[in-house]
Amino acid sequence: MVNKQKHVFLTALFLSLLPLLLSAQWLETTIDVSDFPYALVWNSTNNKVYCAHDSTNVLTVIDGSTNSVINNIIVPGALFVTIIPYSLIWNFVNNKVYFHNYYGGTVSVIDCEADTAITNITVGSYPWSLVWNSTDNKIYCANSGSHTVTVIDCVGDTVVSTIAVGNFPIVLTWNATNNKVYCTNYTSGTVSVIDGAGDSVITSIPVGTYHAMLGWNSIENKVYCANFENGYVSVIDGAGDSVIATIPVGSHPDCFEFNLVNNKVYCGNTWDATVSIIDGAGDSVITTIPVGNEMCPLPTVWNSTNNKVYCASDPNTVTVIDGATDSVITTITVGVWPSGMAWNSIQNRIYVANMLSSTVSVIRDVTGIEEEKVLGISRNGLGATIFSGPLLLPEGKNCKVFDIAGRLVEPDKIQPGIYFIEVDGVVTQKVVKVR
């Protein structure tokens, strides 16, 4: 009788603490790496994190399960020097990592199965950023010095085209809906729109000089352009390629993150250390959140499992923002000058590259492997399928749909959010309903 009462008490205590556990964030560990870690990318096929180091030719490989360094790849002829930490690309079709070499004028290719350098591809002068077109399996490289965009075929890792754009092209984004690549031309005041199939410039959109970062809203098919010097965001219609709104934000906006669940765009304002949260449907600022000290890099990442946004907001902190309420949940101390971030959805870990302390911080959320044990849902290795409209399930199978909290839901009644599909007792797919 006593043991039964104890079991009931512990169960009740656990259930009462579960909401707190599911929102908990903590610094799980700190990984020592080589000097100046700057950019990160996660490989879900092998559950590895790749870390590029500024001004070196080393690419560190971290095991996503154990948080241990398993390799340091020396890339011959490479020197990873970059201004922004968004130029480390994982191609899941061919399981390769691509990164550019600013002074060398090349793009290096890494085989992720063997963790070896495959080749260095010659591109234009002073390559600044990369983007991957998964429809045509091509990498686009913005060459700031030669005013061109180089197109690389990822099957043979060869240059297939060189496209003339505006002056000082620096940032790229890909519109998957219309298969277009958008390129900011920093000093000419335009965004070049490139046809992803034909690799030619469709049009150039005037947005104002000294604009930098780009972001894409897949729900509304809009491209956001941060006008760095002028403190506003230009909103471009992805279908018509025209500016449809101009949104005032904070001082020197310089990064974007998109929340697919709540249709929000997060704009990091570097000089006043704030994040402006933009309504993706109405193109207006919902609120602006202070996140740290002034003059800090503000890379962000959205975690779709817990609907939280992580912002490297200070010389040594990361601010965690609730995606539903737009409120700061907590601030986590990491290493010095966090410059790049990546999310491991299998263990639900956020990795932070701390440039000036030669470390990678690992932030953990209990909503991961622990949640699987509690809810009985296995989701390891599942990628997310994005859809709108009705959910289509396999015919002739025993199918069930669970929400992110592990609750059984009716397939014809689901609202926008994250769900897991169970087929004959096995969770086989993660899906995101956008509208």
> Where residue 1 falls among pLDDT bands split at 50, 70, 90?
low
- Residue 107: what pLDDT? 93
How far is the C-alpha of 183 from the C-alpha of 192, rounded, in Å? Answer: 5
- Which residues does 277 contact at the CB level (< 8 Å), separation at least 6? 264, 265, 266, 267, 285, 286, 287, 288, 289, 326
How far is the C-alpha of 189 from the C-alpha of 303, rounded, in Å? Answer: 33
Whose tokens are 């946004």? That residue is: 309
How far is the C-alpha of 235 from the C-alpha of 182, rounded, in Å? Answer: 13
**Domain 25-369: top CATH class:** mainly beta
How far is the C-alpha of 213 from the C-alpha of 43, rounded, in Å? Answer: 24
On whether the pTM is more than 0.85, the answer is no
At 7, which helix (H) or strand (E)? helix 2-22
* Per-residue pLDDT tens digits for 238-295: 999 999 999 999 988 888 999 988 999 999 998 888 999 999 999 999 999 998 876 6
Range with the lowest mean pLDDT among 189-193, 315-319, 393-397, 406-410?
A: 406-410
Is-contact 356 336, C-beta < 8 A?
A: yes
Q: What mean pLDDT is predicted for residues 234-239?
A: 96
At 20, which helix (H) or strand (E)? helix 2-22
* Per-residue pLDDT tens digits for 346-384: 888 999 999 999 999 999 986 544 444 444 444 444 556
pLDDT score of 320 more than 90 = yes
Range from 2-6, 140-144, 297-301, 344-348 that averages highest in pLDDT: 140-144
* Per-residue pLDDT tens digits for 56-91: 888 999 999 999 999 999 988 766 665 454 578 999
Is-contact 228 187, C-beta < 8 A?
A: no
- Residue 414: what pLDDT? 79
> Where residue 17 falls among pLDDT bands split at 50, 70, 90?
very low
DSSP string of 167-228, one letter each residue: SSEEEEEEETTTTEEEEEETTTTEEEEEETTT-SEEEEEE--SS---EEEETTTTEEEEEET
Contacts of 64-69 spanning 24+ positions with Cβ under 8 A: 64/344, 64/346, 64/347, 64/349, 65/346, 65/347, 67/28, 67/29, 67/31, 67/349, 67/362, 68/31, 69/31, 69/32, 69/33
How far is the C-alpha of 381 from the C-alpha of 350, rounded, in Å? Answer: 16
How far is the C-alpha of 246 from the C-alpha of 235, rounded, in Å? Answer: 6
Q: What mean pLDDT is predicted for residues 146-154?
A: 97
pLDDT score of 14 more than 70 = no
pLDDT score of 13 more than 50 = no
How far is the C-alpha of 26 from the C-alpha of 348, rounded, in Å? Answer: 12
- Residue 410: what pLDDT? 81
Domain layout of the chain by residue ranges: 25-369, 380-433
Is-contact 318 300, C-beta < 8 A?
A: no
3-state secondary structure of 433: strand
* 59 closest CA partner among 29, 82, 83, 79: 79
Tokens of residue 269, six digits:
């304002």
Which amino acid appears at position 2 of this protein?
Answer: V
